[in-house]
Structure 1
Amino acid sequence: MPDASAPLRRLGFLTIGLFDPANPAAGHETTLEIIELGERLGFDSAWLRHRHLQFGISSPVAVMAAATQRTSRIELGTAVTPLGAENPFRLAEDLATVDVLSGGRINPGFSTGTPMHFDDYKDALYPPPGGWEQQDLGYDRLLRLRSFLRGDPVSDFSGREGIEEYSERVEPHSPGLADRLWYGAASLRSARWAGENGFRLLTSSVIANENGTADFASNQSAQITEYRTLHPAGPDARVSQGLVVIPTDSATPSQRRRYQDYVDSRSARVGVPQGPRGLLFAPDLIGTSAEIAERLHDDPGYRQVDEVAFALPFSFEPDDYGQLLTDIAGALAPALGWSRSA
């Protein structure tokens, strides 16, 4: 497990990939350009949010497939894909195909349970009769997906039929992909399950309030500790933290004003449990890279990780993302001990 003095080992970023519904191609192209920029700047990974019925990335697998053909080194992940809206069998085929195309650079992250706003479109996804009530939307859905990716048999038939050859497992098979699956946990229960079942852990800027303090960092630290206690790899189990950081080192005055307005518009929710689950939101970290690094070194959650996927704010402009990524890779990450990989 990293300690307070441990250097940041792996640097990633997370984007939602917004687009104009009147011109979705331009937004998707911008997302691909951001990933290309991330690779040039030396980022170790780029992660895509997964959104349904919104003007953000609805098919991260397709976007990752395109990104594999425009990059050569950066790892590509999802944070996270809600499995309740997916067919694990078909998703396994798609993920393995993209992993093969990428040369083994895919890091899929998932959540289970009912996706956001599921009641609004569940009948379109799983029509009645039968419908969504017959679906297992819990943890077992992810275990099935991992089984498919491992190459466990899914068919009673394999061999030749006429001139066609059939396999008993999902094809293509991409060795190692099943060991690169992440779980996005927001609660102690999910963190425990991810640890017990050997998944990597994604912990984000939204988690459940479970220790009664309404303090985000201490709750997140407790979840990471619990996860590693139960994971077969123990203290070496991989955890990636995803906070919103907004370094202003090279920002223009107008950018700084807009960034501060964005942070101010979201600050009232910090430290106040939200909704029936009492969700806690991490504060957005804005300032110079030196100031943000100091705050992170004081954060109990950050002190337990040595890899991050810093989240880019949802509604900024492409030039803003370029400035943020440049400052993160050029100033913030080095202040955290990270060095660009060869």
Structure 2
Amino acid sequence: MPLSSEPLRKLGFLTIGLFDGADPRRGHESTLEIIELGERLGFDSAWVRHRHLQYGISSPTAVLAAATQRTSRIELGTAVIPVGWENPLRLAEDLATVDILSGGRLNPGVSVRPPMNYDRVKHALYPDTAGIEDFGYERVRRLLDFVRGEPASDFSGVQGFEVFSDRVQPHSPGLGGRMWYGAASLGSARWAGEHGMNLLTSSVVKAEAEAEAEIPGPPGSPDFAGIQLSHIRAFRARHPDGDRARVSQGLVVIPTDSATPRQRAKYEEYARERTPRTAGPQGPGRLLFAPDLVGPSARIAEQLHAHAAFREVDEVAFALPFTFDHEDYVQILTDIATGLGPALGWRPSV
């Protein structure tokens, strides 16, 4: 298979951090232990998802604050925080605080949309303003301004015995350049580029007619890799850094090099159950899902080298399956670091 134009430069992973409602500490400890393992294996980054009113990480910044004290090198990211659940000023304070604690290793990923199941949660989340909240890009733009040091108040100085700043404190100067947008649509990719963010892609894209029109070759059934490639190119076309603008791909990959027969069967069944959703666009949003890649590292590397969007990036944050056990994640991460990563041209960080 033809190799991508550049070897894989940064290797990361993403975890959802599930836990048992009867014993939530154990699940959170497992997530932190996995991040520590990632650092020992030489991964460049570890990312956490969010899950509100579910049995997964509800406070990514709190979990990553803990991770800053248990790691020293690995970059820590969120993929992604839906800012519809957040006050941009307060979130900017939390992100800057965690970045300071980490020594400048935080990579916040965000996205826009109304909170999931908004009609069921809006009276708890926004009891007085549910009908007028803006869940569009403006919410992210406000967050970017605060993170980048734009004024949040018209007052700075001394009031009594207290000293006030007109911008978010602490201010972390490099954080603004490490803000990521999780985009599944062509419009979001363009917006992220125009606002100087980095781009997070995942295993989900929207099968929009405009995106399909950007795919080279004759029209046909929606092609995940081609649509994702159109997002990457549209993003870079509008980004101040052009072709040097950072993009990370987040497909689900499950190498089986050191897996036990039981684990291999489990992984293959997991992928088989999820395969039907990859046959075509799903739901009114026309969501298109990438197939999970399961098998020996050498075979997965060939599949990635053939993936049009993968050939356009040199950073990845491979997504760990949601429902596996701790020992499964240990095996998968070990195989990614020792088998798949090197097959893609990556070398571990030390």
Q: TM-score band (shorter)?
A: over 0.9
* Whole-Å separation in 2 of the counterparts to 1:99 and 1:9: 22
Aligned counterpart, 1:17: 17
Aligned counterpart, 2:143: 145
* Whole-Å separation in 2 of the counterparts to 1:222 and 1:275: 21
How far did residue 189 of structure 1 move? 0.8
Aligned counterpart, 2:69: 69
How far did residue 253 of structure 1 move? 0.4
**Does 1:173 find its partner at 2:181?**
no
> Does the aligned pair in 2 maintain the 1:214–1:271 contact within 8 Å?
no
Aligned counterpart, 2:40: 40
SS in 1 for 2:36: helix
1:22-171 superposed matches below 5 A = 22-128=22-128, 131-171=129-169
1:323-334 superposed matches below 5 A = 323-334=331-342
* Whole-Å separation in 2 of the counterparts to 1:337 and 1:14: 20
Identical aligned pairs, as a percentage?
Answer: 67
Aligned counterpart, 2:215: none
* Whole-Å separation in 2 of the counterparts to 1:213 and 1:47: 32
Give the letter for the 1:141 counterpart: R
2:261 aligns with one of 253, 267, 272 = 253
* Whole-Å separation in 2 of the counterparts to 1:93 and 1:9: 31
SS in 1 for 2:181: strand
How far did residue 140 of structure 1 move? 0.8
Q: Which whole-Å deviations, capped at 9, do the CAs of 1:288-326 have from their partners, x for residues lacking one? A: 000000000000010000000000000000000000000
* Whole-Å separation in 1 of the counterparts to 2:60 and 2:152: 25
> Does the aligned pair in 2 maintain the 1:18–1:27 contact within 8 Å?
yes
Aligned counterpart, 1:316: 324
Give the letter for the 1:287 counterpart: G
1:187 aligns with one of 185, 193, 202 = 185
Give the letter for the 1:7 counterpart: P
> Does the aligned pair in 2 maintain the 1:11–1:333 contact within 8 Å?
yes
Aligned counterpart, 2:198: 200
SS in 2 for 1:80: strand
1:210-289 superposed matches below 5 A = 210=208, 211=212, 213-289=221-297
* Whole-Å separation in 2 of the counterparts to 1:213 and 1:199: 31
Equivalenced residues, count: 338
Moved more, 199-208 or 222-231: 222-231
* Whole-Å separation in 1 of the counterparts to 2:117 and 2:254: 29
Q: Which whole-Å deviations, capped at 9, do the CAs of 1:35-60 have from their partners, x for residues lacking one? A: 00000000000000011111000000
SS in 1 for 2:130: helix
Aligned counterpart, 2:309: 301
How far did residue 97 of structure 1 move? 0.6
* Whole-Å separation in 1 of the counterparts to 2:113 and 2:325: 33
Give the letter for the 1:205 counterpart: S
Give the letter for the 1:250 counterpart: S
Give the letter for the 1:95 counterpart: L
Give the letter for the 1:66 counterpart: A
CA RMSD, aligned part only? Answer: 1.0
How far did residue 163 of structure 1 move? 2.0
Give the letter for the 2:152 counterpart: V
How far did residue 119 of structure 1 move? 2.2
* Whole-Å separation in 1 of the counterparts to 2:35 and 2:316: 16
* Whole-Å separation in 2 of the counterparts to 1:151 and 1:316: 41
Where do 5+ consecutive residues of structure 2 fail to align?
Answer: 213-219
How far did residue 182 of structure 1 move? 0.3
Moved more, 240-249 or 212-221: 212-221
SS in 2 for 1:186: coil
* Whole-Å separation in 1 of the counterparts to 2:94 and 2:230: 35
SS in 1 for 2:131: helix
* Whole-Å separation in 2 of the counterparts to 1:118 and 1:326: 39
Give the letter for the 2:34 counterpart: I
* Whole-Å separation in 2 of the counterparts to 1:175 and 1:285: 38
How far did residue 229 of structure 1 move? 1.1
Where do 5+ consecutive residues of structure 1 fail to align?
Answer: none
Give the letter for the 2:16 counterpart: I
* Whole-Å separation in 2 of the counterparts to 1:87 and 1:302: 34
Give the letter for the 1:150 counterpart: R
How far did residue 132 of structure 1 move? 1.9
How far did residue 159 of structure 1 move? 1.3
